[in-house]
């Protein structure tokens, strides 16, 4: 995602501070505790559709979900608002991008969302074995050159790391407009023995369309007439 300078970055960081998970790797194995700390009353200040009181944040029964590469956060914020009993981590490393997620979190007081403001290269450093219930990878950067295949978020070694940090029965879900990246991903999944439980080359015309939550990129590409690829594997 192209990064434009954010003139109001300091203000967004200040308003969004309660939703920030700056501790990063220190939270490995302790993410539920982080949510259980809660968000101070009155945080954000602009609560309109917030999740206050809807969840026992940090309860063992709540699902814990991660999106890697959240962009400006449309998908993860809308998902967190619609599922207030679950917990969501938006991981986004873009210096001028993740404050946008904080802005949305503060505006709608999304208490079951935390923003991990870093690029993740080794997921096991941030999450303990089986700590997550699911991982979302949405419109990940394609890294089109073959020599950069290892940087793709669906490269086989990364998939193996995701498999470790997702509990048995949890999932990895991936969607993209990019056919090359999708084919690469299916190959990598096969290479590590992952079998698709869901697979479609046209998500919006599929049986999963009704439950689909749009991302910023998805809205843009589907407006242009591009069909969306989607695959989900169960761990």
Ligand X SMILES: C[S@@+](CC[C@H](N)C(=O)[O-])C[C@H]1O[C@@H](n2cnc3c(N)ncnc32)[C@H](O)[C@@H]1O
Tokens of 19: 């939703």
Q: Between residue 95 and residue 154, which ones bind ligand X under the rule CB under 6 A? A: 97, 119-120, 138-141
From the list 52, 78, 160, 216, which residue makes contact with ligand X (rule: CB under 6 A)?
A: 216
Size of the site for ligand X (CB under 6 A): 20
Only segment of 86-94, 99-107, 163-171, 227-235 that touches ligand X (CB under 6 A): 86-94
**Nearer to ligand X (CB atom), residue 71 or residue 84:** 71
Q: Between residue 14 and residue 43, which ones bind ligand X under the rule CB under 6 A? A: none
Helices marked H in the chain = 9-16, 31-36, 74-82, 98-108, 156-165, 179-191, 216-223
Q: Please state the closest distance from residue 153 (CB atom) to ligand X, in A.
A: 6
The verdict on 91 binding ligand X (CB under 6 A) reads: yes
Cα angle for residues 127, 131, 135 (degrees, 5° grid):
80
Give CA separation, 120 vs 29, 69, 105, 176, 195, in Å.
16, 9, 21, 19, 25
Only segment of 39-47, 77-85, 91-99, 179-187 that touches ligand X (CB under 6 A): 91-99
Report d(CA 231, CA 109) in Å as an integer.
31
Closest of 135, 118, 130, 133 to residue 175, by C-alpha: 135
Tokens of 59: 């309860």
From the list 24, 58, 63, 93, which residue makes contact with ligand X (rule: CB under 6 A)?
A: 93
Only segment of 22-30, 87-95, 202-210, 225-233 that touches ligand X (CB under 6 A): 87-95
**Nearer to ligand X (CB atom), residue 127 or residue 139:** 139
Report d(CA 108, CA 212) in Å as an integer.
21
Helices marked H in 176-229 = 179-191, 216-223
78 in active site: no
Among the options 125, 141, 179, 202, which is catalytic? 141
Closest of 177, 172, 164 to residue 204, by C-alpha: 177
The verdict on 177 binding ligand X (CB under 6 A) reads: no
Q: Please state the closest distance from residue 160 (CB atom) to ligand X, in A.
A: 16
Binding site for ligand X (CB under 6 A): 1, 68-71, 91-94, 97, 119-120, 138-141, 215-218
Catalytic positions are 141
């Amino acid at each position: 995602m192209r990064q434009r300078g954010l003139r109001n970055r300091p203000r967004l960081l200040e308003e969004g501070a309660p939703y920030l998970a700056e501790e990063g790797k220190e939270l490995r194995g302790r993410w539920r505790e982080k949510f259980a700390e809660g968000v101070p009353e009155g945080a954000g200040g602009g609560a309109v559709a917030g999740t206050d009181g809807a969840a026992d944040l940090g309860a063992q029964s709540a699902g814990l979900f991660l999106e890697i590469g959240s962009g400006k956060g449309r998908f993860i914020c809308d998902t967190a608002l619609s599922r207030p009993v679950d917990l969501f981590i938006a991981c986004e490393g873009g210096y001028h991008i993740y404050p946008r997620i904080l802005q949305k979190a503060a505006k709608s007081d999304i208490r079951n969302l935390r923003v991990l403001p870093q690029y993740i290269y080794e997921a096991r450093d941030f999450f303990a074995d089986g700590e997550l219930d699911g991982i979302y990878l949405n419109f990940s950067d394609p890294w089109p050159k073959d020599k950069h295949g290892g940087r793709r978020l669906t490269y086989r070694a990364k998939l193996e790391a995701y498999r470790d940090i997702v509990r048995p029965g949890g999932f990895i879900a991936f969607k993209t407009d990019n056919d090359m990246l999708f084919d690469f991903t299916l190959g990598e999944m096969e290479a590590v023995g992952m079998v698709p439980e869901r697979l479609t080359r046209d998500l919006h015309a599929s049986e999963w369309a009704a439950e689909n939550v749009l991302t910023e990129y998805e809205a843009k590409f589907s407006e242009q007439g591009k069909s969306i690829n989607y695959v989900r594997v169960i761990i």
